[in-house]
Amino acid sequence: MKYTIDKQEKYCMLKLHEEKLDSSVAPGLKSELITLHAEGMKNIILDLSDVKYTDSSGLSALLVGNRIMQEDGGIFVLASLSDHTMKLIKISQLDSVLNILPTAEEAIDAVYMHEIEKDLKSGEN
């Protein structure tokens, strides 16, 4: 699996350099997401701008990432999805479950908004 990771203070940007997010790539992606979470990353942005095709095992990896981040009060954002991947997510009715934004920049903004909202909520208690 080819990818790059950019770790920042508030988030980690994982950019997948693969044309297909399928059964040959999904297990590696899952384990990378779990590893980043174990290292203390609370917010992950997955940049899928290079991915043209996704199958059910790819969707499964995305759901794993979403679940482990949410369990910890973090946010998992998908950015720059291909039309094919977006259609698959809509058909699977996961567009209401996953955080999907058109660009990586908007995904970064969403992470900061999530952090601000979290800080505000913790200040209320």
Q: Give residue-wise pLDDT tens across range 81-123.
A: 999 999 999 999 999 999 999 999 999 999 999 999 999 988 8
Residue 18 and residue 53 in contact, taking contact as beta carbons nearer than 8 Å: no
- pLDDT band (50, 70, 90) for residue 125: low
Q: Give residue-wise pLDDT tens across range 22-55.
A: 999 999 999 999 999 999 999 999 999 999 999 9
Closest to 103 (Cα-Cα) out of 77, 68, 76, 64? 77
Give the number of domains in the chain.
1
Cα–Cα dist 102/49, whole Å: 10
Instruction: Note the pLDDT of residue 123.
Output: 82
Cα–Cα dist 62/60, whole Å: 5
Domain that holds residue 82: 3-124
Instruction: Note the pLDDT of residue 124.
Output: 74
Q: What's the CATH code of the domain at 38?
A: 3.30.750.24
Q: Which amino acid is at 94?
A: L
> CA gyration radius for the chain?
14
CB atoms within 10 A of CB 54: 24
Residue 59 and residue 22 in contact, taking contact as beta carbons nearer than 8 Å: no
